[in-house]
Amino acid sequence: MTDLASRINEFVKSNAIVYAKDNQTIGIGAGQMSRVYSAKIAGIKAQDEGLEVAGCVMASDAFFPFRDGIDAAAKVGIQCIIHPGGSMRDQEVIDAADEHNMVMVLTGMRHFRH
């Protein structure tokens, strides 16, 4: 699932968030000034289609600068996050994922598109 979410994310306008589950894209949030709002939009789109976000993988095209994106993902049941890392606060973001018992994959590759 991380591969699917990450590949789709390459083609989404930044700030991009992709939710994927069961070999399909569940929701996409794009073009926002905040990763948290892109994640909220991805969740709204999934809900509007009657899809369940809990258990999804969440991919981001760039690093999470703060833990708020991780906390928001945990609230809706995201189980795994894939992003490039590289923030000055990476350890804070990793710690947030650990607190929520989430898997986090750091790729080292950004797909930032404007």
Residue 84 has a CB neighbour count (10 Å cut-off) of: 19
In a domain, 94, yes or no: yes
CATH number of the domain residue 40 falls in: 3.40.140.20
Q: pLDDT value at position 6?
A: 75
Tell me, what's the pLDDT at 110? 65
In a domain, 87, yes or no: yes
- CA distance linking residue 114 with residue 95, whole number of Å: 29
Note the pTM of the prediction, 2 decimals. Answer: 0.86
Considering 3-12, 78-87, 102-111, the range whose residues carry the highest mean pLDDT is 78-87
Q: Greatest CA span in the chain, whole angstroms?
A: 37
Which ranges in the chain belong to alpha helices (H)? 2-9, 35-48, 68-75, 90-99
Find the mean pLDDT for residues 89-107. 96
- The residue range of the domain holding 17 is 2-106
Looking at the structure of the chain, the number of domains it has is 1
Question: Does residue 71 lie within any of the structural domains?
Answer: yes
What confidence score (pLDDT) does residue 52 get? 94
Whether 112 is in a domain gets the answer no
Q: How far apart are CA 79 and CA 93, in angstroms?
A: 15
81 within a domain of the structure (yes/no): yes
Of the candidates 65, 73, 60, 70, the residue with the CA atom closest to the CA atom of residue 109: 60
pLDDT, tens only, 52-74: 999 999 999 989 999 999 999 99
Torsion of CA 28, 58, 77, 100, to 10 degrees: -150
Q: Which of the four pLDDT bands, split at 50, 70 and 90, describes residue 82?
A: very high
